[in-house]
Each structure stands twice: as structure tokens, then as C-alpha cells.
Amino acid sequence: MRSNKRWVAMLAALISVLGCSPADKPPSLADHRLDDPPPLTGHRPGAAGIGDTDFPTDGNGGYDVSHYDLAVDYTPMTKQLQGVATIQAAATQDLSSFNLDLSGLTVSKVSVNNSTATFRRQGEELTVTPAKPIDVKSRFSVKVVYSGQPKPIQDSANLGTFGFVATPDGAFVASEPDGSKTWFPNNDHPADKATYDITITVPAGVTALANGELVGRPTTAQGKTTFRWRERHPMASYLATATMGKFAQREGRTPAGIPEIAAVDPKFKTSLDKLFTLTGEITDYWSTVFGPYPFSSTGGIVDDFAAGYALENQTKPLYGGFAPDQSIIAHELAHQWFGNSLSIKRWKELWLNEGFATYAEWLWSEHKGGKSAEAIFNEFHARPADDPMWAYPPGRARPDDLFNLSVYNRGAMTLHALRKAVGDATFFKLLKTWTADHRHGHVTTDEFIHLAEQLSGQNLRPLFDAWLFQPRRPA
Ligand SMILES: [Zn+2]
């Protein structure tokens, strides 16, 4: 994710400093479970959170999703969504019940392994009790039938409005960090990635864009068109999209041959060719710097909702209400490696996404003959000792100020300091080794430090400690 207007994030930081942050989380559902302690052995309820203590009710415990098959029918005029989510999962404990995350919307039926299940709602948790308990390691499927008017999440500490946002001609769908539960029930945390089939039915004349590639041509019957998209590589829930509306589109391949789709709201029609060309050029360039492109297609979407930010939705970054410049395109496409293919297990390690994507902006500038990464690093380092960036250690992103600019800029500075310490040959070998070792998987800061030390033969703990974890400007 990157803010298009730097002041948005600065304002959020200021609000947070003034102590009126609206980021207070609803009471933990762990409280609820304390009323009714589960038995210590045998089948028991899955936890209401996946274990990320900064976001205690995000994701869920007791199972791991392998695939989402989503079918959504959306009518822009009435803002009504009808959905059927069929989820394939494997139990990681003996389960008497388990939770899914879902915000708003009305659930009419839930079944597990084709048998009707009972369910209840509490806050943003949907608790499902199957007719028969589920044994550890067994695979199961859960089908949820639901409907209603999706409502986005408003959280000014974490970049404003996100999730499913209705637009006059369709919807803008960008969900970082935990907004995918506004349009489908899921395990809403990047620690559980899965593949997706996303089938979207809209009134004829409306285009629906989702992750991955189209499976067959869209079909139209009785005034409605159905688009079938498939993302065959694992994807974090916050990267799933079903962006709908009127779009001018261009399809083709990057110069190196990767299939590409660019789509822009008619308001931004003049930016279509630039978006298509830059996306192709940058995807190919990053493939030479970071290693092979991790997915089966690339692209970008400009929609007319003025989010003021862009999000790196897998295979199709979404730009919210502005024609993106090359720097922000370079940022969002770098996330296809850092964040999308290599995903974080805990939000506090967000610098592994944003520090790398910001450093990619500096590398792109250097590549195009603009300011060098060294020059940009020096500008930031010249900031006075009382600049807020130095008080916020980027290695530990805070839940009430997740997208602080330190996570971006000081995160990128960390990588530049590392590059200077180990030299260009080792640094760029490290980037490619990192993306190859963890392709389509999960990563931690400790693993990155370990690999950097292994490839360089140096003790880099002091460097990483000063740059990532100390609340002061490194020397
Ligand atoms: Zn970003």
C-alpha cells in the first residue's frame, strides 16, 4: 500500500499523537470465551483469532484454508450483494466449532461437508458448529450463503476507508489490513494464504475485475454478465479484489511476455496507455532484479473512488482515484514479490513489505537516471534528531499506526544501510535468494537477518538493531 498524498499518513500520525486515535479495537472475543472455558481434551472450539496479538480477533484458529470459491452477484443500483462462499480447509486441531471473520451482511445458511451447520454472529465473528465434530488433520468444506449491502471499514489511523466500497458504477475493493471480511467470510489474516476462484455477476455493461486470470469468456444471460476469475497462486485475504464498474481496458503482454491487463475508469481514460506501458516495463525490470515474476499475469486498475492510496492487490494493483506516476507503480509492483509472494505472519513485521517496496521506488529512480538511492537515503538521514521518524522503530509496526512513514522510509533506509555494509553483489544476490527461498510462502525479520548474515559472512545484528528497533537516529 502507498498513500498518494503523504499528508494523509502524516495527519493520521498527528491524530495518533494527539491521543484521539479512533483505532481502539472492539473488545476481544477472547473475553467471550473466558465465560465458557473449553475442555482441555477432545474436540474444542477454534480460537477467535489466529494469534496476532496486535490484532487479536483477526483470522481464526484451528484450521488452515487452502481454497476459496466465491460467487458474488452485485447490483450497483441497489448496492445489494448476494454471495456464496465455499471454503476448503484442513483442521489443525480437533474442532467442535470454528470461526470465520465477517463484517456486516446477513448469513442465511451454513453447511459443513454438505450437512447443515448451526451458526451464530458476534461482532465480526461468525461461529460455525458442524453437525459432526471435525478431527485434526481432516479436510473439510464449509459453504456460507449470505447477502446484504457491504459496508467498508473506517479507520483513520490505518489509512481511512478500506474493504468493499460502493461506487456509482460498481465497487472499489481494497482491503489492507483486514477488510476482506466486508465482502466474504474468511480467515482474514495474511498468515493463512489460499488460492481463489472469484465468480462475479453484474448487470450487463458493467465490468468485474478480480485477481489472476479469466477462466473463459464472460457470459451474459437475462441482462447479467458473469466473470470467472482464478488466482492459482496462494494469496493473502487482504489482496483479494472484486472491483466493478465501467472501465476502458487494454490487454496484452509485457515486452518479456507476461500477460497483462490494465483498466481505468473512463474519468482516467488518458492514463490507460501510460499505465499499461509502465506496468509492463516495471514488471519486467523487477523480474531481473528480484527474480522471476511470481504470478501468471500482471496489471493495474485505476478506479474513481478517491481513496488517496494504492493497494498492491495480487496481479492487479488498485489505484484509488488518481493516475499513478511511475514511482507508485514501481512500489505496488515490487509488492508482488515483497508482501504478495512473500507474506508476513504478523502485521508488526510490515516493514518486510513496505520497506522493500519503498526501496524499490529508490531503485527505480536510480535505474531511470533520477536521484540515486544513496542521495535519497542521505536526504532522509539529514533529518534532525527530533524528527518523528527516529522515534518510531520500523521493525515493530504499531497496530494503531500501522502505516507510519517510518515503516516505509526508515524501512527502506535499513535496506540501503545493509547494501552499503555488504556491497552491491551480495545485496542483490540476497534479494533474489530471499524471494526464491520463500516464493509463495511466509517470512519473518529474523529469517531475513539470518540470510543476510549467511550470504555476507558478517555479524549484522548491530546494524539491524539500530535501524529497525531503536527509537533514535542511527549514526
Ligand atoms: Zn506499499
Q: What is the DSSP string of 59-107?
A: S-SSEEEEEEEEEEEEETTTTEEEEEEEEEEEESS-EEEEEEE--SSEE
Rounded CA gap, 380 and 359, in Å? 13
Ligand 1 center from residue 358 Cα (angstroms):
7
CB under 5 Å of ion ligand 1: residues: 1-2, 354, 357
Q: How far is the CA of 136 from the centre of ligand 1 (A)?
A: 37
- The Å distance, Cα 36 to ligand 1 centre, comes to 41
Instruction: Give the model confidence (pLDDT) of 81-120 as tens digits.
Output: 999 999 999 999 999 999 999 999 999 999 999 999 999 9
Average pLDDT, the chain: 93
Q: What confidence score (pLDDT) does residue 160 get?
A: 85
Separation of 403 CA from ligand 1 center, angstroms? 9
The closest of 454, 451, 288 to 367, measured between CA atoms, is 288
Q: How far is the CA of 213 from the centre of ligand 1 (A)?
A: 23
Distance from Cα 331 to the centre of ligand 1, integer Å = 6
Report the alpha-carbon distance of residue 106 to residue 116 in Å, rounded: 17
Tell me the CA–centroid distance for residue 332 and ligand 1, in Å. Answer: 6
What is the amino acid identity at position 290?
A: F
Q: Give the pLDDT of residue 284.
A: 99
**Which band of pLDDT confidence, cut at 50, 70 and 90, is reported for residue 22?**
very low
User: What pLDDT, on the 0 to 100 scale, is given for residue 10?
Assistant: 43
Cα–Cα distance measured from residue 232 to residue 254, given in angstroms and rounded to the nearest whole number: 20
Residue with cell 449470505: 146
79 Cα–ligand 1 center, Å? 29
Instruction: Provide the grid cell at 132.
Output: 459432526
Tell how far the Cα of 234 is from the centroid of ligand 1, in angstroms.
19
pLDDT tens digits along 430-450? 999 999 999 999 999 999 999
The rounded Å distance from CA 353 to ligand 1 centre is 7
The C-alpha atoms of residue 276 and residue 260 are separated, in whole angstroms, by 8
Give percent above pLDDT 90 in the chain: 90
Ligand 1 centroid–CA 242 distance in Å is 20
**In whole angstroms, what is the distance from residue 439 CA to residue 341 CA?**
6
**Pairing outcome for strands 318-320 and 242-245:** unpaired
User: What is the bridge-based pairing of β-strands 194-203 and 63-75?
Assistant: parallel
Ligand 1 center to residue 262 CA distance, Å? 19
Calculate how far, in angstroms, residue 342's C-alpha sits from the geometric centre of ligand 1. Answer: 13
Judged against a pLDDT cut of 60, whether residue 166 lies above it is answered with yes
**How far, in Å, is the centroid of ligand 1 from the Cα of 110?**
36
Average pLDDT over residues 161-174: 97
Q: How far is the CA of 397 from the centre of ligand 1 (A)?
A: 14
What is the pLDDT averaged over residues 328-356? Answer: 98
> Before 177, cis peptide (omega within 30)?
yes
Q: pLDDT digit string (tens) for 245-293?
A: 999 999 999 999 999 999 999 999 999 999 999 999 999 999 999 999 9
Give me ligand 1 centre to Cα 312, in Å.
Answer: 7
21-25: which pairs have CB atoms within 8 A and are 24 or more residues apart? 21/156, 21/157, 21/400, 21/401, 22/154, 22/155, 22/156, 22/157, 23/155, 23/157, 23/158, 23/399, 23/400, 23/401, 25/55, 25/56, 25/57, 25/399
Q: Is 260 exposed, middle or buried (0-12, 13-18, 19+ CB in 10 A)?
A: buried
Does the pLDDT of residue 206 top 60, yes or no? yes
CA distance 370 to 144: 51
Q: Is the pLDDT of residue 385 over 70?
A: yes
Residue-level pLDDT at 17: 39
- pLDDT at residue number 159: 67
59 and 52 in contact (C-beta within 8 Å)?
yes
The burial of 138, by beta-carbon neighbours within 10 Å (0-12 exposed, 13-18 middle, 19 or more buried), is given as middle
DSSP assignments along 8-65, one per residue: HHHHHHHHHHTT--TTPPPPPHHHHHHTSPPPSSSSEEPPSS-S-TTSTTSS-SSEEE
Quote the pLDDT of residue 32. 42
Please, what is the end-to-end C-alpha distance for the chain in angstroms?
29
What pLDDT, on the 0 to 100 scale, is given for residue 20? 37
Mean pLDDT over 221-245 rounds to 98
Q: How far is the CA of 2 from the centre of ligand 1 (A)?
A: 4
Identify the sign of the CA torsion 42, 46, 47, 51: positive
What are φ and ψ of residue 162, in 5° steps?
-150, 165
Q: Are 243 and 208 in contact (CB under 8 A)?
A: yes
| Residue 18: pLDDT band with limits 50, 70, 90 | very low
C-alpha of residue 311 to centroid of ligand 1, in Å: 7
Burial (Cβ within 10 Å: 0-12, 13-18, ≥19) of residue 369 = exposed
**pLDDT number for residue 249:** 98
Task: Report the separation in Å between the CA atom of 389 and the middle of ligand 1, taken as the mean of its atom positions.
Answer: 17
The answer to whether residue 202 scores a pLDDT higher than 80 is yes
The reported pTM is 0.93
- Distance (angstroms) between ligand 1 centre and the Cα of 337 equals 12
Å from CA of 372 to ligand 1 middle: 20
Q: How far is the CA of 417 from the centre of ligand 1 (A)?
A: 20
Average pLDDT score over residue span 179-183: 98
Pairing state of beta strands 2-3 and 343-344? unpaired
Cα of 409 vs centre of ligand 1, distance in Å, is 11
Q: How far is the CA of 386 from the centre of ligand 1 (A)?
A: 25
What is the spatial distance between Cα 324 and Cα 37, in angstroms, rounded to a whole number?
51
Q: Among 329, 291, 297, 87, which residue's Cα sits nearest to residue 188?
A: 87
Cβ neighbours for 121, distance < 8 A, ≥ 6 positions apart = 102, 107, 127
Q: Which residues contact 77 (CB under 8 A, 6 or more apart)?
A: 203
Q: What is the DSSP string of 122-136?
A: ETTEEEEE-SS-B-T
Burial class of residue 124 (count of CB atoms within 10 Å of its CB; 0-12, 13-18, 19+)? buried
- CA of 199 from ligand 1 middle (Å) equals 27
Q: Would the pLDDT of 19 be above 80?
A: no
Asked whether the predicted pLDDT for residue 228 surpasses 60, the reply is yes
Residue 408 alpha carbon to ligand 1 centre in Å: 8
